Amino acid sequence: MFAAFLQYLFSGLTSGAIYALAGLGFAIIYNASHVINFAQGEFIMIGGMASATLVAAGVPMPLAITLAMIISMAVGVALEKFAIEPARNADVVTIIIITIGASIFMRGAAQIIWDKEFHSLPAFSGEIPIAVLGATLMPQSLWVFGVAAVVIVALWWFFNRTMFGKAMLATSHNRLAAQLVGVGVKKVLLASFALSALLGAVGGIVVTPITFTNYEAGIMLGLKGFSAAVLGGLGNGGGAIVGGLIVGIAEALASGYLSSAYKDAIAFVIILFVLFFMPNGLFGKRGTDRV
């Protein structure tokens, strides 16, 4: 009984770490622009698909992973520059619709550039499972945990120890005040989309050896990342991390103890619960004082 619970917990934490990275992507863009970017899941798809196809073409894995991250960041910058920036004076709902349209466009482009088949990456350090108290843990799951932890620490350092990171934080709190003290808000917006795309790509790359990927892989991963962001408090980075882990564990337990048919429904149940009973999430929204 305990071994089964532990197995579900390991599965939930693995998924939850990916949702946390996706949720952080939502938080970063929301703080910088007050926009909910529903194309976030496609960055996960691009990272996974690009790295998998490059490795399949014979490119060494470290180089393929680096190129996949660069490609995803370039797509994020292009999304902000050619879709979001021209509509900067539009209302928030219009911009959200633009991100949904961008998501559909990216999936269509992925079908043309790649295909509709599933792709995978080889595991980073073998596929021999590790026995833990009767449960098994795949080495790739340790990579997911480790990479997610490193990314979270790096983000903390970036936002608290670098001038540009502090400029991004200042923009999230009060855009007009940041402009008045010389912060380049346009650069901040570009950087927020690039950083968000990088987070998505990293998540897609480390999870692809476990779950495979195809042109539609970003849909559910993006929605679950949004669920994590909403649960933690939209725009709250720490909340997105906690929310991602909660969503991952909740869906793993529901899948294990109830039915796998309920796995994808958990994220939507959480969104509805938060909207009705906890509109500000577990830790409260950020960016509500932004001008």
What are the residue ranges spanned by the domains of the chain?
25-130+155-215
Determine if residue 4 is left, alpha or beta; phi over 0 gives left, psi from -120 to 50 gives alpha, anything else beta.
alpha
- What's the CA gap between 161 and 166, in Å, rounded? 7
Q: Give dist(CA 50, CA 46) in Å, integer.
A: 6
Tell me the β-bridge partners of 135: 132
Task: Please state whether 13 falls in left (phi above 0), alpha (psi between -120 and 50) or beta.
Answer: alpha
What pLDDT was estimated at residue 290? 37
Return the C-alpha torsion angle 43, 46, 48, 54, nearest 10: -150
Query: Computed from CA positions of residues 162, 163, 166, 171, in that sequence, does the dihedral angle turn out positive or negative?
Result: negative
pLDDT at position 286 is 57
> How far lies 59's CA from each of 43, 47, 165, in Å?
21, 15, 33
Residues 6+ apart with CB under 8 A from 103: 38, 39, 41, 42, 218, 222
pLDDT at 258: 80
DSSP annotation of 129 reads: P
Q: pLDDT digit of tens for each residue in the chain (291 aa)?
A: 788 888 889 999 999 999 999 999 998 888 887 888 899 999 999 999 999 999 999 999 999 999 999 999 999 999 988 988 888 778 888 888 999 999 999 999 999 998 888 888 888 887 888 888 888 888 899 999 999 999 999 998 988 888 888 888 887 777 777 777 777 778 888 889 999 999 999 999 999 998 888 988 889 999 999 999 998 888 888 889 999 999 999 988 888 888 777 777 888 888 888 878 888 888 776 544 333
